[in-house]
Amino acid sequence: MGNEPKVQTLDAKAVQADTERASSKILDLLAVHGKTTRARATLLECSRYDSDENVHQAHHPWSIYDLPVEELQRAMDRARKAFPANGWTIVEDGPDSSPAKTPTLTANSADGKLSARLRLIDERDRGKTSVLAVTVVSTCFRSAPGA
């Protein structure tokens, strides 16, 4: 697209593994013991670039569920303290713009290579299970040849 920043060429599998490791560390920081979804990091096209440029990012969505919403709220509170204590910078903290005003926390890693977004989806009023949804994404990168 012309004026986008130059992206690094990296090994895609290594970026996916780094993203999954960061997710695991975030789960440890949250210090909750509910059920978690089991997903692997996948590659998605980086929307700021033309598809023929083959620029993508690792995307690792997962969630914690089967806990009272109060425990999920405490996990969000722990994240507010644990992220900065572990070198992450909180760049967003508060309700999103949805009608539900979902509590959202976004933090970037110290090296700027990862971003994590936590959303507390409170479903008590609907008789459903509340969820702490976490998505960890890498910066945009180009895969190394042969990787």
Strands 141-143 and 8-10, bridge-based pairing = parallel
Structure token digits, residue 25:
């560390």
Task: Work out how many domains the chain is built from and give that number.
Answer: 1
Q: What is the pLDDT of residue 4?
A: 55
User: Which positions of the chain have pLDDT values less than 70?
Assistant: 1-5, 145-147
pLDDT of residue 1: 40
Domain around 38: 8-143
Instruction: List strand residue ranges (DSSP E) for 31-121, in order.
Output: 35-36, 42-45, 55-65, 89-95, 103-108, 114-121
| Cβ count near 37 (within 10 Å) | 12
Quick check: is 2 in a domain?
A: no
Distances (CA, A) of 21 to 15, 114, 122, 123, 133: 10, 11, 27, 29, 17
Q: Would you say residue 57 lies in a domain? A: yes
Give the helix/strand (H/E) hosting 134. strand 131-138
pLDDT value at residue 102? 93
1 is a domain residue: no
Burial class of residue 129 (count of CB atoms within 10 Å of its CB; 0-12, 13-18, 19+) = middle
- Does residue 106 lie within any of the structural domains? yes
Which 3 state secondary structure label does DSSP give 4? Answer: coil
